[in-house]
A and B are shown apart, each in its own frame.
Chain A
């Protein structure tokens, strides 16, 4: 990791010194991350792509303000989130976001899974399950989806997620927990149908 950071720092110094072309190389490992961050916010593929391009261009223009206090990936994600939020404000959908309060009532208990021993790894290979997961993630309330994508898809750690979202570590944990449980609940039917029906006592596989 440190080696990667050092390589990046070297690249950034050279770009700022005039070797602009190297920016292609700097950004390449993060293209996917930038797109997915934007997709989590704007929820539409074409807009996400457009916004991802803008975010990458902005990161080039403001590269000199990157000071190396944060990781480059974290800094870049912050730029992407800002770009996404700017677009939301323009689309005036930001109002929706404010409705979702932290203390939101809801049932955040997971769904019991029967026949679980029969859920084979190959079930995870099924296309329907992937589609169901994509749809379930898209339907998560915004505040939960953002945290989930950053943490579980882009694999930022809790502190980095808190930093780029501008929320506390505690709030990240609560939102992440709720997001994961909501997805578990939504996807249980798909996991179940992957298993042959074999019911034992209390609906559990024996």
Chain B
């Protein structure tokens, strides 16, 4: 069976996650070998995911960690604030 581009697009996300079954994976790979448009779409989607996971893309506010631990220290200091016993 020959896959159409549209069909490949529908499975792009699962293909990236490696959750398509073996037969479909093979068909998609055969399609990608000769289809530059789908290969480009796959590459660009993958690149976006790489960029998303890059720590520099979504940065924490400056001083976030310090403020968080200062608040936490206050909570821990207070003897009444033991973790609740079940």
Contacts and interface: CB of A to CB of B under 8 A. Distances in A.
Interface of A: 15-16, 20-21, 23-24, 27-28, 31-32, 35-36, 39, 45, 49, 52-53, 56-57, 60-65, 109-114, 116, 119, 124, 129-130, 133-134, 137, 148, 152-153, 155, 158, 173, 176-177, 180-181, 183-184, 187-188, 191, 204-205
A184 B45 contact: yes
Given A113-B40, A134-B57, A124 B68 contact: no
B49 interface: yes
A35 to B, nearest CB: 6
Interface of B: 6, 9-10, 12-14, 16-17, 19, 36-37, 39-41, 43-45, 47-58, 60-61, 64-65, 67-69, 71-73, 75-76, 81-86
A152 B9 contact: no
A16 B84 CA distance: 9
Contacts of A57: 71-72, 75
Given A31-B65, A60-B83, A116-B39, A53 B71 contact: yes
A113 B41 contact: yes
Contacts of A23: 72, 76
Contact of A61 (B17, B50, B81): B81
